[in-house]
Amino acid sequence: MKPIIAIVGRANVGKSTLFNRMVRMSVDRTKSTAITESIPGVTRDRNYVETEWDRKKFIVIDTGGFYAEEISHGDKEILRQVREQAMFAIEEADLIIHLLDAKEGLMPSDIELADILRKSGKKILWVVNKIDTQSKEDRLLEFYRIGAEEIIPVSAVTGYGFDELMDKAIALIPKDMETKPSEDEIPRVAVVGRPNVGKSTLINSLLGKKRLIVSHIPGTTRDSIDSICSYYGKRYLLIDTAGIRKKGKIYSQKIDIEKFSIVRAIRSIERADVAIIVLDASEGVVEQDQKIAGIVEDYGKGVIFLLNKWDIIREPEIYYKEIIQELKNKIWFMDYAPCITTSGLEKKRITKIFPIIDEIIAERQKRIPTADLNKFLSKIIAVKPFPPYKGRELKFFYITQVGIKPPTFTIFVNYPSGVKAHHIRYIEKALRQEYSFKGTPIRIYVKSR
């Protein structure tokens, strides 16, 4: 698993600007990139990104804003939001960046938040934003009242002090938490989904025993729990997604579990070979389901959609057509994923999962010979020639498979800029028609020869 850095602070201190700079400036620009397209409302608007600095990979998360204590309207709700965000940082992060505002100075809510974060025992960097020259660093003095031994000046807009901040951050976070070697021998299956869709009930049914706490209260799973399941002599590692912890005085406020469940899913998904996305069939496909599916796609994992609680569906034959169409409309970017209906509570059709897992893992490891791929490419271009680029012929020289898990391809052309996102989608669709790749994303990169 990769370490998590969370950026917290009041509203308008520059958290999103710093987040964007960390993502934009810390990526390895020597790597070729896939042609992608923004998908509004899925995960491309997410507030987390996997990135790297100095060859160390991590996940950076931008949290919501905290409001000043002196605001009189809705004090209780504001304080609840403050504690929700603090809990998020405390629960999820390996390192917390507490961002402060040099122009507004130290506020009471900054001190309150600092106290909450300090009690967490997590590693914290105290960073003052909006300082873009050395002459303005005298503004740091008042922030030492927060109780920090070191205050780091930075300008998220201009980049002043950014390299120093990133070097300090990387020195404090743990190295990538690698998967245990023993786990590599068996398929790793993450069971993910919104709170209270039946993830723990499903795993308990698969295991044949009550391994996990099951409750109607969302978020009762307290930690990521690994369980070994055996099906016809073959073992599988099932990873249940953790909920949000509630303990101690810091966690006394009611929290919005829906808001933070996605971040917990990241940890499970990145460890997995295949993700089972559990949907509540009685509620249909909601935005949170779209976001979780987008994470699985981003991480290049295999996927199965599981429509749970099918036992309470009236007229299932009619409803099945409706919800499958809804799934295609809302999570269209995963039209390659198989979907099954089940009831974790009544243990109906749950064992159908295992043969599909095996099939998807085989598809993720499939390799296509370069000669076959080039025959395929010539065939689809002959059927549908690509348009010229700036008046010049767009030539496809050859295609080769460069990786697996997920299957990854590189196409060499004379003008990479001439290959658009819809061209890639056309090639991907044709690849799937020819070679299946059931249940797994594929990656297609374009390079000049």
Q: Does 409 score more than 50 pLDDT? A: yes
Name, in order, each residue with C-beta under 8 angstroms of 395's C-beta and a sequence gap of 6 or more. 413, 414, 415
The answer, yes or no, to whether residue 249 has pLDDT greater than 60, is no
Please identify, in words, the CATH class of the domain defined by 370-448. alpha beta
Per-residue pLDDT band at 174 (split at 50, 70, 90) = confident
Annotated binding-site residue numbers: 9-16, 62-66, 129-132, 193-200, 240-244, 308-311
Report pLDDT for 131.
95
Res 206: pLDDT: 83
What's the pLDDT at 225? 61
Please report which helix (H) or strand (E) contains residue 412, including its range. Answer: strand 408-413
Known binding residues for GTP: 9-16, 62-66, 129-132, 193-200, 240-244, 308-311
Lowest mean pLDDT among 17-21, 45-49, 307-311: 45-49
pLDDT band per the 50, 70, 90 thresholds, residue 85: low
In 3-state terms, what secondary structure has residue 439?
coil
Rounded distance between C-alpha atoms, residue 73 and residue 147, angstroms: 29
Considering only residues 194 and 447, tell me which one the structure prediction assigns the higher pLDDT.
447
Q: Do 449 and 415 touch, CB atoms closer than 8 A?
A: no
Q: What are the tens digits of pLDDT across the range 1-44?
A: 788 898 988 888 998 899 989 987 654 433 333 333 333 332 22
Cβ neighbours, 10 Å, residue 319: 17
Rounded to an integer, what distance in angstroms lies between the CA atom of residue 364 and that of residue 336? Answer: 12
pLDDT-derived band at 212 (thresholds 50, 70, 90) equals very low
> What is the rounded average pLDDT of the residues 139-159?
93
What b/e readout covers 74-111, taking b as 16+ CB neighbours within 10 angstroms?
eeeebbebbbbbbbbbbbbbbbbbbbbbbeeebbebbe
Distance linking the first and last C-alpha atoms of the chain: 35
Range list for CATH 3.30.300.20 in the chain:
370-448
Q: What is the pLDDT of residues 383-405, one digit of tens each?
A: 988 999 999 999 999 999 999 99
Second CATH level (architecture) for the domain 181-364: 3-Layer(aba) Sandwich (3.40)
Instruction: Give 96's strand partners.
Output: 6, 124
Give CA torsion, residues 345, 346, 347, 350, to 10 deg. Answer: -80
CATH 3.40.50.300 domain extents, the chain:
4-172, 181-364
What is the pLDDT, as a whole number, of residue 194? 84
* CB contact at 8 A, 343 and 310: yes
DSSP codes of every residue in 114-144: HHHHHHTT-EEEEEEES--SGGGGGGGGGGG
| Least confident window among 80-89, 117-126, 409-418 | 80-89
Most confident of 77-91, 176-190, 388-402: 388-402
Using a pLDDT cut of 90, give the percent of the chain over it: 49
CATH of 4-172, one of 3.40.50.720, 3.40.50.300, 3.40.50.1100, 3.30.420.280: 3.40.50.300
Pairwise CA distance, residues 404 & 353, whole Å: 22
| Of 18-22, 48-52, 142-146, minimum mean pLDDT range | 48-52
Which pLDDT score is estimated for 439?
97
Q: Of 287, 293, 242, 246, nearest to 268 (Cα)? A: 242
Whether 164 shows a pLDDT value over 60: the answer reads: yes
pLDDT at 45: 35
Q: Rounded mean pLDDT of 330-357?
A: 92
